[in-house]
Every structure is written in structure tokens, then in C-alpha cells.
Amino acid sequence: MGAVWRRVVAGVGVLSLSALAGGSELSIKGAGKFQRSTTKYQCDANGAKMGLPAGVFEVEYLNETNNHLAVVPVKGKPMIFVTVSSGSGAKYTAQQFVWWEAGGRGTTFESDFPGPKASSACKEVQ
């Protein structure tokens, strides 16, 4: 796991934040062009207690051959989540949070620090 985190930290260290500040470009030194997509979600009441918006919100996905990011609004600010290994679906982490798209099982937002583990079920909306 240490090698994965070193690669993530190195990649994020050279990440151009212009895309996250309303710009149109995202670059990671040595990476290819990113494809951007946006998906709307709504989570159960636990999501709002954990810092997600109470209503419908957007998650932006930025994907490149070796790099997959999700920008999730947490506590009123965009937070960059990076992919980590998972048994199924796409699992992203940032700080103490996990954003996990598990295909037909839906999407889960989790946190286990500080305090007891908390989880919220989220659904894609049109």
C-alpha cells in the first residue's frame, strides 16, 4: 500500500488546481489528457450529517489512463478524491472519507474519523 500512496502523493503534488477553481485545464506532469464528466447524486440524511449537501449535488470525475479523480463537495468545499484498490466498482478516498461507486449496489459515502464509523447511501439522479 505504501507504493500506491507514494504514487498518489507524487501525482497530486504536481496537479494543476486550475480545473478545481473553475478553470478548464487539468494537468499532471507526464499524464495524458483528462476526460471530464459530471454526475448528480442525492444521499440519505446521514450524508448531510457527514458534510455532504442535503439536496442534489454534482460530483465531477476526471479520468486519464493512470489517474482517476472525483471532486466531491464536502462541508461546502470541493474535495479531491483519488482512486484506490477495491474489490468492485470505483473507490475514491480523501482524508477520512471514502466515496465508493459499487455498480448496481449504488454509491456509498463513508467516514471513520473522528468518532465512530458513519455511512450514507447515495443514488444517482437525473
Residue 112 pLDDT: 79
Range among 21-25, 108-112, 122-126 with highest mean pLDDT value: 122-126
| pLDDT higher than 60, residue 50 | yes
16 part of a folded domain: no
Residue 5 lies in a domain: no
Backbone torsions φ then ψ of 124, nearest 5 degrees: -75, 135
pTM comes to: 0.76
Domain count of the fold of the chain: 1
Residue 100, domain extent: 31-125
pLDDT by residue (tens digit) across 55-68? Answer: 999 999 999 888 89
10 lies in some domain: no
For 5, residues 6+ apart whose C-beta sits below 8 A from its C-beta are none
pLDDT (tens digit, 9 = 90+) per residue, 20-36?
445 556 667 777 788 89
